[in-house]
Amino acid sequence: MSKDTSANSTSVYTLPERIILTVAIVLSVWWLLTHMGCAHPIGNLIAVIVYLFSATMLALPWVMRKLEPYLTEEE
């Protein structure tokens, strides 16, 4: 009778995949906000690329679920 709307039932990623993406986001932000990030511009570029990729991959399923009603064609 109750509808299960937990994150586990609707996620396209397994728990280890979500943890890896979250750790990648946290580490890349940590790198960008530390002195090491200021001292190494190539490291900043890599950290930004990792951050954008990981954050996009983690948020994309949620965004697609929210946009699904607007993306379907109705006649």
Q: What is the pLDDT along the chain (75 residues), one digit of tens a residue?
A: 444 455 445 678 899 999 999 999 999 999 888 887 778 889 899 999 999 999 999 999 999 889 888 888 776
Helices assigned H by DSSP within the chain: 7-10, 15-32, 35-39, 41-71
Distance CA 36, CA 39 (A): 5
Model confidence, pTM: 0.72
Chain-centre distance for alpha carbon 67: 17
For tokens 């490291």, the residue is 43
Distance CA 53, CA 20 (A): 12
The answer to whether 31 touches 54, Cβ cutoff 8 Å, is no
Q: What pLDDT score was predicted for residue 19?
A: 94
| Residue boundaries of the structural domains of the chain | 18-64
